[in-house]
Amino acid sequence: MATRMISRRGVPVQPRSRFELYAWLFMRISGLVLIFMAVFHFLYMHFYLQVDHIDFNVIASRWQNPLWRLYDFLLLVFGFTHGMNGARVVAEDYVPRMARRGVVAILVLVYLVFVFMGAWIIFTFRTP
Amino acid sequence: MREIYTYRGGPGMIAWALHRLAGLGVILFLALHIFDIFLMQFGPETFNQLLFLYKHPLFRLMEIFLLFGLLYHALNGLRVILLDLFPATARFQVQLWYVQMVIFAAAFIPLAVLMGIPIVRELFAV
């Protein structure tokens, strides 16, 4: 939430980098996008395609349309970036100071690996 | 974790704690979901074999929790954005949360029932 850092004398503290500002802004923008994209994805997959009917062929035929690949890619990037940044914020609140940097580094690593895995399959998948 | 129950409390606190819990739940599922879709790589046999997980009643019950987390996080996030853009609305943030929960219930309960019926059918063979 929008909080300005105030020093004890009541003077606003100038943060060392603007990273947190951009992270905050990103959470709002991606959040708005995800309300539509993620909820639609859930309802479409669950109620329209139906989970018990989804299998390899259903996904393969869906990916024959490049627009679905683009949709899935955007959902992957927005969703996972939003989620992992959220996890970072939670970790910074609760992880003891000495372990904090290590935990954040692990989160960054997990983030990069999973985005790569997802993007890889979305873009390299060929219908057999 | 202690902050969750030692902070000042009240509806705002519950709204915030639920937001975090729901977010963490959704991100855990998302990681699993990226992993399972990555298995498309290994062809239909491997991929379809692993789908038994998603068809299991316990997993389908978890899916109702996923919808809970997704909808709650979406609506509460919308309220947070509103509060950020228009700080004057902070005076009504608790009332806004009640409105939000009414909308949440109206969307979640029917969908959860729709999702729950097949699970009950399968478990009790009715």
CATH of the domain at A97: 1.20.1300.10
In tens, the pLDDT along A94-121 reads 999 999 999 999 999 999 999 999 999 9
Give the E-state strand segments of chain B in sequence order. none
CA dist B26 to A14, B17, B68, Å? 34, 14, 10
Residue A16 has pLDDT above 70, yes or no: yes
What mean pLDDT, rounded, does chain A reach? Answer: 91
In a domain, A4, yes or no: no
What pLDDT is stored for residue A3 in this prediction? 55
Distance CA A96, CA A93 (A): 8
In tens, the pLDDT along A59-81 reads 999 999 999 999 999 999 999 99
What confidence category does residue A1 fall into, taking pLDDT thresholds of 50, 70 and 90?
A: very low
Distance CA B60, CA B122 (A): 11
Question: What residues make up the domain containing A73?
Answer: 19-124
User: What tens-digit pLDDT sequence spans chain B (126 residues)?
Assistant: 555 555 667 788 889 999 999 999 999 999 999 999 999 999 999 999 888 888 888 999 999 999 999 999 999 999 999 999 999 988 888 899 999 999 999 999 999 999 999 889 888 876
The CATH code of the domain that includes B49 is 1.20.1300.10
The more confident residue out of A50 and B66 is B66
What whole-number percentage of chain A has pLDDT above 90? Answer: 77
Please tell me the distance in Å from A9's CA to the nearest CA on chain B: 24
In a domain, A74, yes or no: yes
Question: What residues make up the domain containing B37?
Answer: 3-124
Residues of A with Cβ-Cβ distance to B41 under 8 angstroms: 120-121, 125
B84 vs A2, A51, A83: nearest CB: A2
What pLDDT is stored for residue A2 in this prediction? 47
- Total count of domains within chain A: 1
Cβ <8 Å between A59 and B26:
no
What pLDDT is stored for residue A107 in this prediction? 97
- Total count of domains within chain B: 1
User: What's this model's pTM, rounded to 2 decimal places?
Assistant: 0.88
- SS3 of chain B: helix, strand, coil, percent, to 5: 90, 0, 10
Per-residue pLDDT averaged across A77-100, rounded? Answer: 95
Mutate to test the interface with A, among B55, B60, B73 (most CBs of A within 10 A): B73
